[in-house]
Amino acid sequence: MVYLPHTDEERRQMLEAIGVESLEALFADIPPAYRYPELGLPEPLSEAEILQELTELSQANLNASLVPTFLGAGAYRHWSPSVIDYLISRGEFATAYTPYQPEVSQGTLQAIFEYQSMICDLTGMEVANASHYDGATATAEAVIQAINVFRLKRKKIVLSPTLHPQYREVVRTYTQGMGLDIVGDDDPQRSLEALIALVDADTACVIVQSPNFLGEIEPLAGLADRIHAQDPRTLLAVVTNPLSLGLFTPPGDYGADIVLGEGQPLGLGLNFGGPYLGFYATREKYLRQLAGRLVGETVDVDGKRGFTLTLSTREQHIRREKATSNICTNQGLMALAATIYLAALGKQGLRKIAELNYHKAHYAAQQINVLEGYEVLTTKPFFNEFMVACPASVEEINDFLLDDYDIEIIGGYDLGRNFPGWENRMLIAVTEMNSREEIDDFIEALEEFAAIHQAGGGDHHD
């Protein structure tokens, strides 16, 4: 029996103590017709066997961390200092539950308190919660916070068209029963000016992303004022890349009401898309509309500093249908990983990593821009991602990079997947993990593709 400590004799004694004959007797209340179905699962394996199988399975994939990779679009290959996995692997952190008993959960609680503090520092905001599932769901929670601020009386939400397409989709999934009017993101070319013009007295919030999905840094200076000129109470939520905040002025300093985003760049692995981390910060005046867990500092009966979950009257286990959100389990261990990342790099290290991303991405952009057939379309300042017009479809180029070039390269994101007509536009991410050699290889490969394409050798697949 796997993971069960019972001996036959103990089982017998236990059944006797309960006063039943057999294990089956414990399930006498289940109608017999439904009892003990055949499941048809595969034969069980031992630890050695399953690891062998899984190792083979894992090797059937192309590990994006072992080849030059220029794919981002919401998930990025970054360096994760060794201390992170060492510390989050500790059973005391990993196998603890939500810290409902604070006296024996101070480790988790203090770490979340530090996380909340660091997220505030990074974003320039006043309060941060203990996490959401990811950047997409954090965006949906921002919409819900905003409509709660207006006690459900405002129904209009303005979304920037350069907000991550998956985040826009999740906002619509979450709010489909709320009767909201979600506007602004139907035209990918809509300017920030035109977006602001949509704001009116029924608008609960405007959500913009910076760096946006196309990598550009939006002009956040004065944005809050311009929105408030349309309606003084509309909230501004900014979705951002936390690593970019090692370098750039945080949205909080520009007057954002909510700052949130995907925390994966903070030392979390790619992991094929999850688990990641939704970070979320807002203004103190919105504390009562904030969703999710919060850790607060207090003292114990001896006057000693301690930490505890607090303000839980906002949450589902107390308020049930009147709660600010249904969230319960969040991303605790991922928040811990991000905390350790920010501590291990610290003030100077985070700035350096952010600069590395900036310089390497700009180096790559400059090199690509001079290639025949390619043009960098990003005109605003950018962080570590930019858009390039290519001589052929991105699909064709990426197939070439992966299958037909001397080495395997994972190219950038095919924007045609989300924007009809943009099939030739590639979104390229360059991080501190891309060495100059990788970048130069990529550029050579792009050049070679263009040459073959120009020569009419369009079909690279036989």
Contacting another protein within 122-141 (CB under 8 A): 122, 126-128, 130-131, 133-137
Q: Least distance (Å) from another protein to the CB of residue 377?
A: 18
Under a CB-based contact definition with an 8 Å cutoff, are residues 208 and 197 in contact? no
Between the two ends of the chain, the Cα-to-Cα distance in Å is: 53
In terms of CB distance, is 346 or 458 closer to another protein?
A: 346
Q: Which of residues 181-210 bind another protein (CB under 8 A)?
A: none
Task: Tell me the two tokens of residue 138.
Answer: 């954090």
Cα–Cα distance for residue pair 286/269, rounded to 1 Å: 32
- What part of residues 72-131 is at the interface with another protein (CB under 8 A)? 73-75, 77, 79, 81, 83, 85-108, 110-114, 116-118, 120-122, 126-128, 130-131
Closer by beta carbon to another protein, 34 or else 459: 34
> What would the x/- binding string for another protein be over residues 10 to 49, using CB under 8 A?
xx-xxx-xxxx--x--xxxxxx--xxxxxxxxxxxxxx--
Least distance (Å) from another protein to the CB of residue 344?
Answer: 5
Give Cβ neighbours of residue 87 (< 8 Å, ≥ 6 apart): 93, 336, 340
Q: Over the range 229-245, which residues count as b (16 or more CB within 10 Å of their CB) and which as e?
A: ebbeebbbbbbbbbbbb
Q: Is 10 exposed, middle or buried (0-12, 13-18, 19+ CB in 10 A)?
A: exposed
- For the bound state, the minimum distance from the C-beta of residue 312 to another protein, rounded and expressed in Å, comes to 8
Residues sharing a CB contact under 8 Å with residue 289, sequence separation 6 or more, in sequence order: 145, 148, 149, 314, 324
Minimum Å gap between C-beta 299 and another protein is 6
Q: Counting contacts by CB under 8 A, is residue 160 touching another protein?
A: no
CA 345 – CA 446 distance, rounded (Å): 34
Return the residues of window 205-244 that contact another protein according to CB under 8 A: 217
User: Residue 179 contacts by C-beta under 8 Å, 6 or more apart in sequence?
Assistant: 155
Q: Which one of residues 353, 387, 409, 426 is an interface residue with another protein (CB under 8 A)?
A: 353
Does residue 169 interact with another protein by CB under 8 A? yes
CB of 327 to another protein, least distance (A): 6
Tell me whether residue 161 or residue 199 sits nearer to another protein (CB atom).
161
* CA-atom Rg of the chain in angstroms: 26
Task: Report the distance separating Cα 65 and Cα 61, nearest Å.
Answer: 11
CB of 286 to another protein, least distance (A): 12
268-327: contacts with another protein (CB under 8 A):
269-276, 287, 293-302, 304-308, 310-311, 313, 315-323, 325-327
By CB under 8 A, the residues from 394 to 453 that bind another protein are: 398, 402, 410, 413, 432-433, 435-436, 439
